[in-house]
Every structure is written in structure tokens, then in C-alpha cells.
């Protein structure tokens, strides 16, 4: 009888030991899966770093623009050897940019310098189109219409560009906060 009780007790201990071992292995496997998921998420975040750097370099922070002169400065016309044809600046509105009804972290700040929209000029005809292409190719510049002509009413020697609406795109609050990932 003692042998039977000892055998039953031994079987019970072996069964519970095996059951605990299986639970431990399941938890260890779940932890490995979580570690792999966390590692792939970290790798995906780290792989976005070049895009985040381009985002920050391409779009000026909205909170750094305080007035019309700030918007005008964000156009960086002198970087392209372009000049505003008029000295007057008029706020043409601000709006949040959405994609599929969701904000993407950009604000459109539009500016005019005439009743026709925004007028640019350049000193020479030779490189004007090249400069204008460089300016309009920027990621942070948006416009709806553009007409280039030599305007006899202004100064027949200089080319002018008439933008129906000229806007600079600005980063809102940082959507992509850089966080330390260890």
C-alpha cells in the first residue's frame, strides 16, 4: 500500500512539474514574441530617421512664425535670387492640411503682396526660369496658378511671376517627437 501511495504521490509531483514546465515554456515563448515585436517596432522607428530629418529640414516650425514678415521670411526668396515686386504684405489665410480627413502636422500659411496675388521679379531674364523652377520645386511651397511674363506696365526689362495664391507649408506642433530609443 505504501508503495502505491508513494507511486501516486510521485506521479502527482511529476504531473504538476510537467504542467509548470509547460506554463513556463509558454510564458517564455510569449516573451520572445514580444521581444521580437518590440525589436521590429524599434527598427521601423529607427528606419524613419532620415524621413524625420527631411521633414524637419523641409518644413519650418509654425510656432517660429509670428507675423507676415515671418511668413515672408519663410519663403526665402533671396536663396533663389528672387524679389518681391511689391512692399505690401497681406495675409491670405492659414489652414491645417488634412489627408483622408486627418491632420498631417502641416499648416498652410498664404501671403499676397498685391490684389492679383503674389508677384515676384528677378533682375535678369537669363536665369529667371531656372530660379523660379528651383523655388516652386521646394516641398514647403504651394501655389495654385503661376503666370510668367514681361510686364510693360511695370518695367519691360524685368520678368515677373504672378502667383494666384502663394503659400508656405509649416510644421505644426511636432507630430513626430524624437524619443530616445535604447
Task: Give the pLDDT score at 141.
Answer: 94
pLDDT (tens digit, 9 = 90+) per residue, 17-43? 888 888 888 898 889 889 888 888 888
pLDDT band at 180 (very low <50, low <70, confident <90, very high): very low
In this structure, the strands spanning 166-171 and 141-143 are antiparallel
Q: What is the pTM of this model?
A: 0.68
User: With the CA atoms of 90, 91, 92 and 95 taken in that order, what torsion angle do they form, in degrees rounded to the nearest 10?
Assistant: 170
Amino acid at each position: 500500500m505504501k508503495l502505491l501511495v508513494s507511486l501516486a504521490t510521485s506521479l502527482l509531483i511529476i504531473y504538476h512539474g510537467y504542467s509548470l514546465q509547460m506554463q513556463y515554456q509558454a510564458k517564455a515563448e510569449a516573451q520572445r514574441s514580444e521581444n521580437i515585436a518590440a525589436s521590429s517596432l524599434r527598427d521601423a522607428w529607427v528606419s524613419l530617421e532620415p524621413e524625420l530629418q527631411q521633414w524637419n529640414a523641409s518644413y519650418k516650425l509654425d510656432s517660429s512664425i509670428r507675423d507676415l514678415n515671418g511668413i515672408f521670411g519663410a519663403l526665402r526668396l533671396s536663396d533663389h535670387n528672387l524679389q518681391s515686386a511689391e512692399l505690401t504684405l497681406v495675409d491670405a489665410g492659414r489652414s491645417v492640411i488634412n489627408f483622408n480627413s486627418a491632420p498631417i502636422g502641416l499648416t498652410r500659411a498664404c501671403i499676397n503682396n498685391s490684389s492679383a496675388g503674389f508677384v515676384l521679379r528677378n533682375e535678369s531674364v537669363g536665369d529667371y526660369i531656372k530660379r523660379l523652377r528651383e523655388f516652386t520645386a521646394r516641398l514647403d511651397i504651394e501655389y495654385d496658378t503661376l503666370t510668367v511674363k514681361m510686364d510693360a506696365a511695370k518695367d519691360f526689362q524685368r520678368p515677373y511671376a504672378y502667383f494666384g495664391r502663394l503659400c508656405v507649408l509649416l510644421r505644426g506642433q511636432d507630430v513626430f517627437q524624437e524619443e530616445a530609443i535604447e
